[in-house]
Amino acid sequence: MNENTPSPTATDAPWPTSGTRVKVPDTSMLPGSEIAPAPSAKLLNQAVQGAHNTIDRLAVSAAPVARQLGERVEAASDALHATANQLRDTRDEWVESARTTVRKNPLAWVAGAAVMGALIGRITRTTR
């Protein structure tokens, strides 16, 4: 029962003990406050309200522009996809045409490939 617990010092206490006064926040700007706000608080409220009004006007005027920009981006995206599909179709046609030509004359294409290989080999050999 004889437990020795240290007494709290001034630094251990959760509240100020040195006689300093704690500043209480100003509640005059809270709704329902009975204290009249200072003139600077009224000026600050007017500035804040003016900023809110300006931001609201900007948001209203920017909404149609943002919507129009979104529509233009969507149209550009659709056009880009259509062009990409068209290019894929053209590529497939060319590949099929080349396959058909090679199937009709395989010996000529093998000879042509051999000649091209020899030319590329000669060019790379002479530039060293």
- The whole-number pLDDT of residue 10 equals 47
48-57 confidence digits (pLDDT tens): 888 888 988 8
Distance CA 84, CA 92 (A): 12
Contacts of 28 (CB under 8 A, 6+ apart): 35, 36, 37, 38, 41
78-98 confidence digits (pLDDT tens): 999 999 999 999 999 999 999
Tokens describing residue 19:
């006689």
57-74 confidence digits (pLDDT tens): 888 888 899 999 999 999
**Confidence label for 47 from pLDDT (cuts 50, 70 and 90):** confident
**Confidence label for 39 from pLDDT (cuts 50, 70 and 90):** confident
User: Against a cut of 0.95, is the pTM above it?
Assistant: no
- The whole-number pLDDT of residue 70 equals 93
